[in-house]
Amino acid sequence: MPAPTRPRPGPPPGPVARWFDHRHVLFVGLSLFVFVVVVYPLLQVALRSILVQGEFSLANYEQVFLRRRNYLALWNSLWVSAIATLLATIIGVFTAFLVQRTDIPARNLWRVLLVLPFAIPPLFSAMGWVQLAGPVGLLSQVYKELFGVFTVPWNLYSPGGIIFVLAVSNYPFVFITVAGALARMDSSLEEAARTSGVGPWRVMRDITLPLVRPAILGGALLAFVSSIDNFGIPAVLGLRAQFYVLTTRIYEALTIPNLPLATAMSMLLVGLALLAMLGFRRAEGHGDRYAVVAGKSVLPNVVRLGRWRAPVVAGLALLVTFIVLLPLFALVLTSLLRFWGAELTWANLTLDHYHAVLNTPAARRGIVNSLILAFTAATVLVVATALISYLTVKAKLRGAGWLDAAGIVPFALPGSVIGVSMILAWSNPPFGPTLYGTIWILLIAYLMRYMAFGLQATRATLQQIHGSLEEAALTAGASRLRALKDITLPLLRPGMIAGWVLIFISAFNELTVSVLIWTSGSETIGVWIFLMQDSGFTGRASALAALTLPVILILYLLAQWLARLEERRAGKGPS
């Protein structure tokens, strides 16, 4: 019986058929999506900052530098963010070394607690510290009773207070990057030094810290950009003292309104962020000098603390209690007191603030709006970024790289810039509907701000999926579209879920962008809490914040669990 003959391949598809390939259709659709969400709004900011009545002019920038309060806000942003970053770096490096390279017990518990501020919105942190160490805060009351005085020696409503709260809110950026580098670093150089008789602390100073310098600088960069971008902390602690930074000055300019001034200051924020990135990258030098991460699994060298173990654990517990747990406790306790500063007695405990919040239509609307916006933004972004990552990593389609690059850009931009870009782009657009004054402008702003989160999560997962799986499906006769649907997307699901959770958490409690572009009827949780806090309704603001905290923390723990699941899955994969 003659062997069956293989069917002869048909003629190659023509140019029209190639362009109707699903990859090109996806590329066109995603290009339009990225242009509308990212490119068009940013072009509006850049152009409007140098155009006055349709002509080129630097008059908007002259407003910034010719008025003392404007350039003073620029200077305040610089020095406050720099000092806060220095403190955050010290805390982050110290705690990362203790957790990752010493024999302290319960390391996993310490990791969760130390990263917890990362999941708490900055506005909540500022409120918690006000209710803990403000003029009538819990700690302030204890100090006054203990020493029999009427005032405390600190002032939270000051530049020093802003610096402190920014530092304890942003140190997790440094902790996460440095702890990851310490976990992956080959410990052979440290072992060689110890074999030569060098003590553990000198090894840390002369070998370990220099080798993780890129990670330290990377974490410090994130902390600095986050400090410059922050609105909630300077607003709560600075506006009362008439201390302005660029973000609060932009907010004030928009309330006047003075849109040209806000546009020029937004471009200055972009310049600060870009200069910070270039400066930190230059400080890193050549990455090859620090290439000590082994390609094989390594067991980091653990420093035995010996008789110092108990004091170090006690000190770490005190640090975590003070900078992480006490502000949250003060926030929840304030939500239960009849009025802020009331004595801690059973008679002064009440649920009235919770009843008032839940019976306020605007507050309920803020909760619903935040849930809808966060769910929609997370879902749309996970699908769009998964497809962009597929075109870039797997399909390797020519030109797809610009989608990835454009989507990452907003990650380096302060939220105030994104807020101003939305106003400029969608107040009176040359095409499409006017979105300013509707809830949809908030959705587009969230899509722009958090696109990088989805790209990072999906790209990292796709890079772990071996190309042989798709090749096998194609060899078996499946089309590329079916291989994408049946092979790639199911394997990409864990990364998509992790990205969805991170985007949802971030969008759910967003403030910096929302406070600039919200209008009546489109309030969000973050905006409503800020308005109540700013209007003196501290108990109600605390109650609404306390109601949202469990949602944020549960989703954060879910994201952490998914990340560990992905690490174990990657470790069991083929080498």
Domains belonging to the chain, first-starting first, are 21-53+356-570 (1.10.3720.10), 58-296+306-334 (1.10.3720.10)
**What is the pLDDT, as a whole number, of residue 256?**
81
SS3 (DSSP) at 102: strand
**What is the pLDDT, as a whole number, of residue 294?**
44
Q: How far is CA 137 from CA 319, 330, 335, 351, in A?
A: 19, 8, 13, 19
For residue 449, the tally of other CB atoms under 10 A from its CB is: 27
SS3 (DSSP) at 185: strand
Q: How far is CA 374 from CA 192, 369, 450, 504, 545, in A?
A: 51, 8, 11, 5, 17
Please give the backbone phi and psi of residue 462, each rounded to the nearest 5 degrees, phi first. Answer: -60, -35
**What is the pLDDT, as a whole number, of residue 186?**
61
Q: Which residues contact 15 (CB under 8 A, 6 or more apart)?
A: none
**What is the pLDDT, as a whole number, of residue 371?**
92
Q: What is the DSSP letter of 413?
A: S
Q: Digits of tens for pLDDT over the chain (575 positions)?
A: 455 544 444 455 555 545 556 778 889 999 999 999 999 999 998 888 888 877 888 888 888 888 888 889 989 999 999 999 999 999 999 999 898 888 888 888 898 888 888 878 888 889 999 989 988 888 998 898 888 888 899 999 999 999 999 999 999 889 988 887 777 666 666 667 667 766 666 777 777 777 788 888 888 888 898 898 899 999 999 998 999 999 999 998 888 888 888 888 888 888 887 787 777 666 655 544 444 444 444 456 677 778 888 999 999 999 999 998 999 898 898 899 888 777 778 888 899 999 999 898 988 999 999 999 999 999 999 999 988 988 888 777 888 888 888 888 888 788 888 999 999 999 888 888 889 989 999 999 999 999 988 887 777 677 666 666 666 766 766 666 676 666 777 777 777 887 888 889 889 988 889 998 999 889 999 999 999 888 888 899 999 988 888 888 887 777 777 666 765 665 554 44
Q: What is the DSSP letter of 52?
A: E
Answer for the pair 444, 553: CB distance below 8 angstroms, yes or no.
Answer: no
Gyration radius (Cα) of the chain, Å: 26
C-alpha to C-alpha distance for 30 and 235, rounded to whole angstroms: 37
Please give the backbone phi and psi of residue 473, each rounded to the nearest 5 degrees, phi first. Answer: -65, -40
Q: What is the DSSP letter of 158?
A: S
Answer for the pair 131, 333: CB distance below 8 angstroms, yes or no.
Answer: yes
C-alpha to C-alpha distance for 432 and 405, rounded to whole angstroms: 25
**What is the pLDDT, as a whole number, of residue 7?**
45
**424-445 residues labelled b (16+ CB within 10 A) or e (exposed):** bbbeebeeeeebbeebebbbbb
SS3 (DSSP) at 337: strand
Residue whose structure tokens are 């302030």? 140
Residue 106 tokens, joined: 């319960």
Q: Burial of 374 by CB count in 10 Å (0-12 exposed, 13-18 middle, 19+ buried)?
A: buried
Residue 135 tokens, joined: 């003029």
**What is the pLDDT, as a whole number, of residue 112?**
84
**What is the pLDDT, as a whole number, of residue 29?**
93
**What is the pLDDT, as a whole number, of residue 10?**
47
**What is the pLDDT, as a whole number, of residue 291?**
43
Q: Locate all alpha helices (DSSP H) within 49-187, ordered by sequence.
A: 59-66, 68-101, 107-119, 122-133, 138-147, 159-184
Please give the backbone phi and psi of residue 121, each rounded to the nearest 5 degrees, phi first. Answer: -60, 140
C-alpha to C-alpha distance for 89 and 168, rounded to whole angstroms: 10
Tell whether pTM > 0.85: no
